[in-house]
Amino acid sequence: MGLFDKIKGEFIDIIEWTDSSTDTIMWKFPRMGNEIKMNAKLTVRESQVALFLNEGKAADIFQPGMYTLETQNMPIMSTLKGWKYGFNSPFKADVFFFNTKQFTNQKWGTKNPIMLRDAEFGPIRIRAFGSYAFKIKDATMFFKEVASTNPDFTVDEINEQLRNLAVSRGMDAIAESKIPVLDMASNYDEVSKIIHEKIRPEFNELGLELTKFLIENISLPAEVEAMLDKRSSMGILGNLGAFNQFQAGVSMEKASENQNGGGMMGAGMGMGMGMGMGNQMGNMYQNNQVNPQNNATNVPPPPIIQFHVAVNGQQTGPFGLDQLKAMATSGQLTKQSQVWKAGMAGWLSAETQPELAGLFMNVPPPIG
């Protein structure tokens, strides 16, 4: 290599960035200590901007296009360098390219359940996740606030910060919206817009523009969802007529598939069973509506035990067990007293009745 070639290699005459990546936000042109040649060509492609730095200070910025570097299109550099009447010698400057395209499908989500207060369920924990998109809005601000003098900067280096910002401010926005949890699924667009407006200014402070924010899912804890499923299942009983029709239809369909001679009989039996089951469920449902205090098993209350007592040949009562206990304690009721209750064929002594046998255990025997 001759001396002329060596000197020529120390000067840069073409400055450009052909980006082959999909996640690079900023890239520094590798000057390697060389100086930029007078009238060098600068190519800034679509979805790019170029920023010149002089001694670490942001200077001129170039939008997409092809430029011949001279004082006319480098006013800030000209002022910093003192090029009042143009320049004819190479100069040193750092050149950073910024990718201004949208970085789409960036994921966000809650690492742990977030506690909220819901109007219907009270305090409740929810999870949420979705996606967002952003792009460079102000390359100079992004360089000063985020990238600094790194030779390159990728999406991964800022995504964690942006995700935390989305979750923190997003959950605040959901809580402030006062939208019931059960209504959020039908209001994802509205909630997304609320969160978008909430966090957009903070993206701007980093030199970024939040172009899209989407909620893909808001979920409840598994045990709460299981209870909601049971609640939904109970709601199905609200249309018992449709249930009866469905049961009858299924029974007829199965009976028609019977290939032996009892097809019609099977259809009739199937319809009867299906409608009978539906009617039973309907009666249970109606009984529960009439008496809401009935539990799911419809256990009947225990019967009230009452006895009549023969005193001096006269029928007295009926008396409940508490009254009979008091009578046994006072001696008015003895083991030999004649008693009768509904269902008995005749009068019998009190000691023969299992319900009354325990009343005499604590009664002292006759004296002498």
pLDDT band at 202 (very low <50, low <70, confident <90, very high): very high
Q: Where are the domains of the chain?
A: 3-99, 103-224, 306-360
- Sequence-ordered list of residues with C-beta below 8 angstroms from that of 48, at least 6 positions apart, any chain: 17, 19, 64, 97, 98, 99, 100
**Mean pLDDT across the chain:** 78
| Segment 119-142, tens digit of pLDDT | 777 888 888 889 999 999 999 999
- Is the pLDDT at 31 greater than 90, yes or no? no
Fold designation for 306-360: Dna Ligase; domain 1 (3.30.1490)
Over residues 340-345, mean pLDDT: 83
- Is the pLDDT at 182 greater than 60, yes or no? yes
pLDDT, position 240: 55
pLDDT, position 219: 84
Rounded Cα distance, 203 and 210, in Å: 6
Q: Are strands 48-54 and 57-62 parallel, antiparallel or unpaired?
A: antiparallel
| 343 φψ region: left (φ > 0), alpha (ψ -120 to 50), beta (else) | left
Q: Range with the lowest mean pLDDT among 70-84, 101-115, 165-179, 353-367?
A: 353-367
By the 10 Å C-beta count (0-12 exposed, 13-18 middle, 19+ buried), 50 is classed as buried
- Is the pLDDT at 264 greater than 60, yes or no? no
- Is the pLDDT at 37 greater than 80, yes or no? yes
DSSP result, 88-147 = -S-B--EEEEEE-S-EEEEEEE-SSPEEEEETTTEEEEEEEEEEEEEEES-HHHHIIIII
Rounded Cα distance, 289 and 240, in Å: 14
Pick the CATH number of 103-224 from 3.30.560.10, 3.40.50.300, 3.30.479.30, 1.10.10.10: 3.30.479.30
Total residues belonging to the chain: 368
Over residues 3-18, mean pLDDT: 68
Cα 45 to chain centroid, rounded: 42
